[in-house]
Amino acid sequence: MSTTGPLGRSSGEGRLFPLLTGAAAVLVPCLVAGIALVLWRESLLSIREFGFAFWRTSIWDPVAGQFGALPFIWGTLYSSLLALLLSAPVALGIAIFLSDLSPHALRQPLIFLTELLAAIPSIVYGLWGIFVLVPLVRRLEIATPAWLKGVPLFEGPPLGVGLLAASLVLAVMMVPFTASVAREILKAVPSAQREGAYALGATRWEAIRMALFYGRTGIIGAVMLGLGRALGETMAVTMLIGNNPRISLSLFAPQYTMAAVIANEFTEAADPLYLDALVEIGLVLFLITVAINALSRVLVWRVGRERTVRAGRPVPAAAV
Amino acid sequence: MTAVKIETRAKPRAPGRDEAKAEEPMILIEDLTLHYGDKPALKGISMQVPKNRVTAFIGPSGCGKTTLLRCLNRMNDLVDGVRITGRILVAGRDVYHGSMDVTELRKRVGMVFQKSNPFPKSIYDNVAYGPRILGTRSRAALDQAVERSLGSAALWDEVKDRLHESALRLSGGQQQRLCIARALAVEPEVLLMDEPCSALDPIATAKIEELMDELKSRYTIVVVTHNMQQAARASDVTGFLLMGELVEFGETPKIFTTPGDRRTEDYITGRFG
Amino acid sequence: MSWNRLRRKVVSGAVVAFCAAAVVLALIPLGFILFFVIGHGLPALNAAFFTQMPKPVGEPGGGMANAIAGTLILIGLAAGIAVPIGIVSGIYVSEYRKTSLASAVRFSADILNGVPSIVIGLFAYTTAVLPFQRFSAIAGGLALGIMMIPLIVRMTEELLNLVPPTLRDGALALGATRARAVFTVILPAALPGILTGVLVALARIAGETAPLLFTAFNNRFWSTRLDQPIASLTVQVYTYAISPYDDWHRQAWAGATVLIGAILTFSLLARAMTRRLERMHRP
């Protein structure tokens, strides 16, 4: 029996092959580390100047040299979480329909259509958002009865652009992504589980509920992956959110997100502190999305492992 | 015809047993034909499954015995493109009739699968699943149902101190008995068993065969098996299927010692299978 | 029917209805978007769009010829970076799948996949723009290439794993070294699938805007030089969309239509290729 050495090769094999291919492979983790390092280095000025107060201050005034990034955290979390609330049930519904309820003939065309939805570029969503969604939201805002307008949630002039428009477009963008990962999870649940439930007299929903229970960690992972996407979404958000660094509870108020401020202000930032402040925002955005992605990956893997099949990555179309 | 040497357990017959044969059958199948798409899987099957007995379906792979079993609780409904003609009456009621509620049918006709499939929950929650969806809420009633079912499945003593552990930690044989308990918890009239021992070692298998013998006094049992010796040992009535047809059906001792059809004899003596 | 059974049936029916409604709900924006984009974009597509440069601010007319060429150059650069690295890495991860490096690569690829594109733009800015003090097509290509790498690595690995082990065993039994077996037997078997996947990845990054904003930047003039800022369809559409000019809005719709048309074509092509592959491998 041959033994495998540190490079994974068996004794008696050439050294060149694993070395060369390994050299290319090692670039990938190096890239991730490199990105973290570079972001860290380029934001040092801002980190040293402001420390943690950067994230507690809410005044963002580049002209006066005041940089407080709290509005961006607020806007990012508010818009993404609202979008999550709107998109998760729909995405789950789609996943359940495609895996358990759809008539056979409809399945492939519907899957294709959801993939199409996922393939539409962010800029196109933004374009559609500006010219179609924003006027619609504006009409909605105008139509809001006066008594409702008193509530902080609905305060403000009917601009159209603002948190609501951005969250809506984010929700639309998140749905196909979350739905496809959730569908893979449901597919990985052994059919014996559903059959067991049916054989005990379960209704359709009760059997599906058992499958959902079996895959619950993976489904949470799928939802988190969708959240990770939303947090980093740039173009559609910056075109619809109003780009105002103001913390507000109102759905109608223009606000700002981390990705949007970088996109908008980076090319105009002249002094080093301004630039470094923006990069620091990028660094935190990076860390947050890495953490969420790492966590959701672990969750999605667990369901795959239970089945003792190659762990949770979506199977390419060719194999299905 | 050569006498075939297969051991059949001599079953002590209680007085009055012979009248049982004249009883209404638990399951009446009339000219059942099933197609997957345009391929016929069952052809014109007719039989009467007696109450409170163990009925075995035997036959080579692909002969349709599992398909036939799954017709009895309409599990074949879950497969695309299945067409069924003929009638199946369970306790006098047409199973495929429009007015039959499938979930109720499956409560009355329970099923245990080839490979045990406990839910990823505790032993208690597995057995309590059925009663819970049927509306039983009270803790006391559920406790009772769980103890009763686990007792009937000869598993109670082994798990009574760890009811809240995960069911997945049980051994293969215990998991299968758990699935039997789970099926019994909804108090069915019929218990269908699809090759229940094929994934088990001989000791676990023997336990389950013993269980079948105990359970038949309260339930009607239909078991599919590819193990002829098991059918000979454990069943009262046997049906031999070949390529979708019911070749022969009758009392187990007769089938195995003096089969009426040549094909049955060939299968039993191992000429094919 | 007992009350409990009725309740269960109603709940089950409601859930089924909800799921079907969810599907319809998701398809509505899709239809909406396609309808609007194509409805506004098709009329604005004319020969001028594909052949002319943008006109100065305020003047009507002009086109996006430079932007289209720019996007093609950028995805070419990205592919040049990502395809070799991605495929070779994929080969390593597939061949030596139990090593810790392979696990690290898989993990990093998934992480990299989830990094927001604007952050990747920041990285490319620092490494390819700052040292040379200018925006360039190469910087843009680098950013897009980094985004493509994880897609290619994962896809290559999965496709290589799908090649039946009998093929590899056959090659090795004939005395081939591991490298030879991979390059002469396994990789060619997976190649059609890999090419399909590359197409799909290209379609995905062709639609990216954020990473180009401060790498390739933009260019009003025709330029194919790699060391200069270069126009791209996505950034051009963005610039026009947020401008106050109607004519520019029209052209933005046109650009979006071209984008969607290209992505649709790539997807359908990839799908057709996958179907053909499935049919070829079926016994």
Which tokens sit at A204? 């359709």
- CA of C168: how far to CAs of A200, C102, C182, C184, in Å? 46, 20, 8, 10
Q: What is the pLDDT of residues A44-57, one digit of tens each?
A: 988 888 888 888 88
What's phi and psi for C107, nearest 5 deg?
-60, -50
Q: Which residue has the higher pLDDT, B11 or A190?
A: A190
Contact A262/C at CB under 8 A: yes
Placement of tokens 């958000």 in the chain? A237
Determine how β-strand B190-194 pairs with β-strand B220-224: parallel
Q: Which has the minimum average pLDDT: A12-16, A192-196, A237-241?
A: A12-16
CA–CA separation, C172 and C226 (whole Å)? 44
Q: What is the pLDDT of residue A144?
A: 84
- CA of C208: how far to CAs of A103, A233, C141, C233, in Å? 35, 11, 11, 9
A interface mutation test: which of B75, B129, B175 has the most A CBs within 10 A?
B129
- What would the mean pLDDT of A296-313 be, rounded to a whole number? 57
pLDDT reading at B235 higher than 70: yes
CA–CA separation, A216 and B119 (whole Å)? 13
CA distance B135 to chain C (A): 6
Which 3 state secondary structure label does DSSP give C219?
coil
Q: What is the pLDDT of residue A304?
A: 52
pLDDT reading at B272 higher than 80: no
Determine the residue of chain B that is closest to A191 in CA distance: B117
Q: Which has the minimum average pLDDT: A4-8, A61-65, A314-318, C58-62?
A: A314-318
Query: Is residue C220 classed exposed, middle or buried when 0-12, 13-18 and 19+ CB atoms within 10 A define those classes?
Result: middle
Asked whether the beta carbons of C216 and C73 are under 8 A apart, the reply is no
Query: Is residue C173 classed exposed, middle or buried when 0-12, 13-18 and 19+ CB atoms within 10 A define those classes?
Result: exposed
A interface mutation test: which of C122, C237, C269 has the most A CBs within 10 A?
C122
Q: Which chains, if any, share at least 3 CB pairs under 8 A with chain A?
A: B, C
C contacts of B101 (beta carbons < 8 Å) = 1, 5
Which tokens sit at C14? 């409601």
What does pLDDT average to over chain C?
90
A contacts of C102 (beta carbons < 8 Å) = 8, 25
What number of residues does chain B have?
273
* String of DSSP letters for chain B: -PPP------PPPPTTHHHHTTSPPSEEEEEEEEEETTEEEEEEEEEEEPTTSEEEEE-STTSSHHHHHHHHTTGGGGSTTEEEEEEEEETTEETTSTT--HHHHHHHEEEE-SS----SSBHHHHHHHHHHHTT---HHHHHHHHHHHHHHTT-HHHHTT-TTSBGGGS-HHHHHHHHHHHHHTT--SEEEEESTTTTS-HHHHHHHHHHHHHHTTTSEEEEE-S-HHHHHHH-SEEEEEETTEEEEEEEHHHHHHS-SSHHHHHHHTTS--
Which tokens sit at A161? 């652009």
A contacts of B101 (beta carbons < 8 Å) = none
- The b/e string for A272-306 (b: 16+ C-beta within 10 A; e otherwise) is ebbbbbbbbbbbbbbebbbebbeebbebbbbbbeb
B contacts of A210 (beta carbons < 8 Å) = 119
C contacts of A272 (beta carbons < 8 Å) = none
Nearest to B73 among A199, A210, A306 (CB): A199
Which tokens sit at A206? 């009760």
Taking CB atoms and an 8 Å limit, are A13 and C30 in contact across chains? Answer: no
pLDDT reading at A317 higher than 60: no
CA distance A191 to chain B (A): 10
Which tokens sit at A250? 């109102």
Contact A132/C at CB under 8 A: yes
What number of residues does chain C have?
283
A interface mutation test: which of B115, B117, B134 has the most A CBs within 10 A?
B117
- CA of C62: how far to CAs of A30, A161, A241, B29, B127, in Å? 44, 29, 30, 78, 73
Per-domain residue ranges of chain A: 69-259+295-302
Contact A213/B at CB under 8 A: yes
Asked whether the beta carbons of A242 and A138 are under 8 A apart, the reply is no
C interface mutation test: which of A15, A101, A124 has the most C CBs within 10 A?
A124
Nearest to A25 among C92, C237, C256 (CB): C92
Instruction: Please name the residues between 176 and 205 in chain A that touch chain B, using a CB distance below 8 Å.
Output: 190, 192-193, 195-203
What's phi and psi for A220, nearest 5 deg?
-60, -40
Q: Which residue has the higher pLDDT, C61 or C108?
A: C108
The partner residues of A163 in beta bridges, in order of sequence, read none
Taking CB atoms and an 8 Å limit, are C22 and A89 in contact across chains? Answer: yes
pLDDT reading at B13 higher than 50: no
- CA of B14: how far to CAs of B18, B116, B150, B222, in Å? 9, 34, 28, 22
A contacts of B105 (beta carbons < 8 Å) = 201
Asked whether the beta carbons of C70 and C189 are under 8 A apart, the reply is no
Tell me the residue type at A254: P
pLDDT reading at C62 higher than 90: no
Tell me the residue type at B121: K
CA distance C3 to chain B (A): 10
Per-residue confidence band for A2, with pLDDT thresholds at 50, 70 and 90: very low
Q: What is the pLDDT of residue C169?
A: 85
Per-residue confidence band for B168, with pLDDT thresholds at 50, 70 and 90: very high
- What would the mean pLDDT of A228-245 be, rounded to a whole number? 94
A contacts of C27 (beta carbons < 8 Å) = 113, 117
Per-residue confidence band for A185, with pLDDT thresholds at 50, 70 and 90: very high
Which tokens sit at B8? 């059949």
Q: Residues with Cβ < 8 Å from A105, sequence gap 6 or more?
A: none
C contacts of B134 (beta carbons < 8 Å) = 4
CA distance B134 to chain C (A): 7
Taking CB atoms and an 8 Å limit, are A121 and C263 in contact across chains? Answer: yes
Determine the residue of chain C that is closest to B104 in CA distance: C5
Taking CB atoms and an 8 Å limit, are B134 and C1 in contact across chains? Answer: no
Q: Which residue has the higher pLDDT, B20 or B144?
A: B144
The partner residues of B241 in beta bridges, in order of sequence, read B246
CA–CA separation, A67 and A42 (whole Å)? 16
Taking CB atoms and an 8 Å limit, are A200 and B133 in contact across chains? Answer: yes
A contacts of C267 (beta carbons < 8 Å) = 115-116, 119
pLDDT reading at A1 higher than 50: no
What's phi and psi for A43, nearest 5 deg?
-115, 5
CA-closest candidate to residue B1, choices B260, B268, B270: B260
A contacts of C6 (beta carbons < 8 Å) = none
Which tokens sit at B75? 């599990």
- The b/e string for B180-213 (b: 16+ C-beta within 10 A; e otherwise) is bbbbbbbbbbbbbbbbbbebbeeebbbbbbebbb
Instruction: Please name the residues between 7 and 66 in chain C that touch chain B, using a CB distance below 8 Å.
Output: 8-9
Asked whether the beta carbons of C137 and C226 are under 8 A apart, the reply is yes
Q: What is the pLDDT of residues A67-107, one digit of tens each?
A: 889 999 999 999 999 999 999 999 999 999 999 999 889 99
- What would the mean pLDDT of B134-163 be, rounded to a whole number? 94
- What would the mean pLDDT of B4-10 be, rounded to a whole number? 49
Contact A113/C at CB under 8 A: yes
Q: Would you tell me how many other CB atoms lie within 10 Å of the CB of residue C221?
A: 10
Taking CB atoms and an 8 Å limit, are B135 and C1 in contact across chains? Answer: no
Q: Which residue has the higher pLDDT, B135 or B8?
A: B135
Q: What is the pLDDT of residue B69?
A: 95
Instruction: Please name the residues between 174 and 233 in chain A that touch chain C, using a CB distance below 8 Å.
Output: 175-176, 179, 203-206, 208, 225, 228-229, 231-233
- What would the mean pLDDT of B171-176 be, rounded to a whole number? 93
Contact C263/A at CB under 8 A: yes
Asked whether the beta carbons of C124 and C184 are under 8 A apart, the reply is no
CA distance A201 to chain B (A): 4
What does pLDDT average to over chain B?
89
Nearest to A318 among C30, C99, C278 (CB): C278
Which tokens sit at A28? 């990938």
B contacts of A195 (beta carbons < 8 Å) = 75, 78, 113, 117
C contacts of B135 (beta carbons < 8 Å) = 2, 4
- What would the mean pLDDT of A291-298 be, rounded to a whole number? 91
Q: Which has the minimum average pLDDT: A4-8, B233-237, C262-266?
A: A4-8
CA distance B193 to chain A (A): 11
End-to-end CA, chain C: 50
CA–CA separation, C121 and C145 (whole Å)? 11
Taking CB atoms and an 8 Å limit, are C96 and A34 in contact across chains? Answer: no
Q: Which chains, if any, share at least 3 CB pairs under 8 A with chain B?
A: A, C
Taking CB atoms and an 8 Å limit, are A204 and C153 in contact across chains? Answer: no
pLDDT reading at C204 higher than 70: yes
- What would the mean pLDDT of A129-136 be, rounded to a whole number? 93
CA–CA separation, C266 and C201 (whole Å)? 10
Q: Residues with Cβ < 8 Å from A34, sequence gap 6 or more?
A: C123
CA–CA separation, B262 and B243 (whole Å)? 15
CA–CA separation, B241 and B237 (whole Å)? 13
CA–CA separation, B256 and B269 (whole Å)? 9
pLDDT reading at C210 higher than 50: yes
Which tokens sit at A139? 């009409």
Q: Which residue has the higher pLDDT, C83 or C283?
A: C83
Determine the residue of chain B that is closest to C4 in CA distance: B135
Q: What is the pLDDT of residue A10?
A: 58
- What would the mean pLDDT of B118-140 be, rounded to a whole number? 95
- What would the mean pLDDT of A2-22 be, rounded to a whole number? 67
CATH superfamily placement of domain A69-259+295-302? MetI-like (1.10.3720.10)
> Tell me, what's the ipTM?
0.90
The pTM (predicted TM-score) of the whole model is 0.87
Q: What is the pLDDT of residue A6?
A: 53
CA-closest candidate to residue A97, choices A232, A243, A208, A22: A208
Handedness of CA C41, C44, C50, C54 (dihedral sign): negative
CA distance A215 to chain B (A): 10
The proportion of chain A whose per-residue pLDDT surpasses 70, expressed as a percent, equals 90
Which 3 state secondary structure label does DSSP give C149?
helix
Q: What is the pLDDT of residues C29-41, one digit of tens each?
A: 889 898 988 899 8
Q: Residues with Cβ < 8 Å from B266, sequence gap 6 or more?
A: B272
The proportion of chain A whose per-residue pLDDT surpasses 90, expressed as a percent, equals 62
- What would the mean pLDDT of B60-79 be, rounded to a whole number? 92
Asked whether the beta carbons of C240 and C41 are under 8 A apart, the reply is no
Q: How many CB pairs under 8 A join B and C?
A: 10
